[in-house]
Amino acid sequence: MAIFVDENTKVIYQGLTGSQGRFYGLLNRDYGTKVVAGTNPRKAGTDVEGIPVFATVGEAVEATGATASCIFIPAPGVRDAVIEAAEGGVKFIVCITEGVPAHDEAWFYNKLRRDFPDVRLLGPNCPGIISPGKCNIGITAGHIAKPPAPGEKAVGIVSRSGTLTYQALYELKLNDIAVSTCVGIGGDPVPGTSFIDCLEAFEADPDTHAVMMFGEIGGSAEEEAAEFIKSKMTKPVVSYIAGVTAPPGKKMGHAGAIVSGGKGTAQAKMDALRDAGAKVGLNPTEASQLMVEVVRNL
C-alpha cells in the first residue's frame, strides 16, 4: 500500500503539450506511472508519443477512466484548470505550477471544499507525489527513492520543500531505507493538502511504519501538525525545520516562508514538534540519521 496514489492510479496531464508538461509527463510514464491522457482544447485528437490528447478533463476521464490529474498549466490558467479537473471527475489533483496568486489559491481551496468535498488537491507550487516503484506524479527524480520490497518496513515523507524532499529520499536510499509514499505539499500560503492530511493517511497506511516531516518557517502548519502528532499518531515521526536563522520579514524563496509579527519561527515549530514526541534534526542529514535509527529499532 501507499497513500493517495499507487500502481492503479491513472493520470491525466493538463498541459501535456507544453514543454514542462511533456518533459515530466513522459518521464513519469517511463517511471511506470499510468499516464493515460493529456488535455489541450486546441490539440484535441492528437497525441504526445502515444498519449492521447483530449479537449477537456471531462472527456479524458470518460475515455480513459482516469482518477487523477497533474497540472502543468501556467499560473494565470491554474484557477480554471483546478475547477475543470474537479468538474471533469478526477479525485486527486496535483498542481505543480508555481507563482499562482494567493487569492486564487484561497478561492479554489474553499470552492473544492464546498462543491467537491471528495476531491483532494496537492499543491500548487509543489514537486508532486511519488509512491516508489508504483507511481510518480510530478517533478521528483524517481530513481532517488527506494521502493519497499514485500514486507519491508517503509518510511512516509511529507515536506513543504522540493529539494529538501529529494535530499531526504536520497539519504534514506543511501542508508537502504525504503519509502512508501513521499508527498511534497508545496511552499505556498494555501496548500491544498496539509501536513495533517498526510500524517493522518500515513498513520492509517499499514505499509508506512514511520514518518519524516520536513517543514519550514512561516505560518502555523507545523505547529498544527505537532498537535496532531501528539494526540493522534502512534507511528514515530522525525522532523526537520528549515529557516532557523532566517531574518523576520524576509521571504525566503517560498511565498509562504516568512516570519512575520514574531510568528512562524523555526524555533517555535521545533519546540512544538519535540513537545509532541517527534525527533527533530538540526539539518536534513541529521534528520535522516535519526530516521535510520528509528527504522532499525522498528
Partner 1 sequence: MDLFEYQGKQFFARYGIPVSPGEVVSTVDEAVAAAERLGYPVVVKAQVQVGGRGKAGGIKLAGDAEETRTHARNILGMDIKGHTVELLWIEKASDIAEEYYASFTLDRSVKKHLGMLSAKGGVDIEAVAAEDPDAIAKIWVDPVDGLTEEQARAWVEAAKLNPRATEGAVDVLLKLYRAYVEGDADLVEINPLILKPTGEVHALDAKVTLDGNAVFRHPDYEQYDATQVRDERERAAHEKGLQYVGLDGYVGVIANGAGLAMSTVDIVNQVGGKPANFLDIGGGASADVMAGALEVINNDPNVRSILINIFGGITKGEEVANGIVTALGRVQIDVPIVIRLDGTNADLGREILKPHLSDKLQMQPTMLDAAKTAVALAGK
Where do contacts with partner 1 occur on this chain (CB under 8 A)?
A: 24, 27, 75-76, 99-103, 106-107, 109-111, 114, 139-141, 143-144, 159-167, 170, 187, 189-190, 214, 216-217, 219-221, 224, 240, 242-247, 250-257, 261, 266, 282-285
Q: Which residues pair with 138 in a beta bridge?
A: 128
Task: Calculate ∠ Cα 81-86-90, nearest 5°.
Answer: 110
Please say which residue, 106 or 204, places its beta carbon nearer to partner 1: 106
Please say which residue, 55 or 141, places its beta carbon nearer to partner 1: 141
Q: Known catalytic residue: 254?
A: yes
C-alpha cell at 59: 472527456
CB of 196 to partner 1, least distance (A): 11
CB of 72 to partner 1, least distance (A): 14
From first CA to last CA, the distance across the chain in angstroms is: 18
Please say which residue, 24 or 202, places its beta carbon nearer to partner 1: 24
- Which residue's entry shows cell 486564487? 104
Measuring CA to CA, how many Å separate 194 from each of 55, 85, 128, 160? 31, 20, 13, 9
As a whole number of angstroms, the distance between CA 96 and CA 231 comes to: 32
Contact 242, 287 (CB under 8 A): no
Task: Calculate ∠ Cα 189-190-192, nearest 5°.
Answer: 145
Contact 184, 215 (CB under 8 A): no
CB of 85 to partner 1, least distance (A): 17
DSSP for 246-269, written as a single string? PPTT---SSTT---BTTBS-HHHH
User: What count of other Cβ atoms lies within 10 Å of the Cβ of residue 17?
Assistant: 20
CB of 252 to partner 1, least distance (A): 5
Nearest to residue 218, comparing CAs of 183, 247, 197? Answer: 247
CB of 151 to partner 1, least distance (A): 29
Nearest to residue 283, comparing CAs of 251, 229, 245, 230? Answer: 245
Please say which residue, 153 or 263, places its beta carbon nearer to partner 1: 263
Please say which residue, 54 or 214, places its beta carbon nearer to partner 1: 214
Chain-centre distance for alpha carbon 39? 22
Q: Which of 103, 143, 209, 254 is catalytic?
A: 254
Please say which residue, 60 or 255, places its beta carbon nearer to partner 1: 255
CB of 34 to partner 1, least distance (A): 20
Catalytic site positions: 254
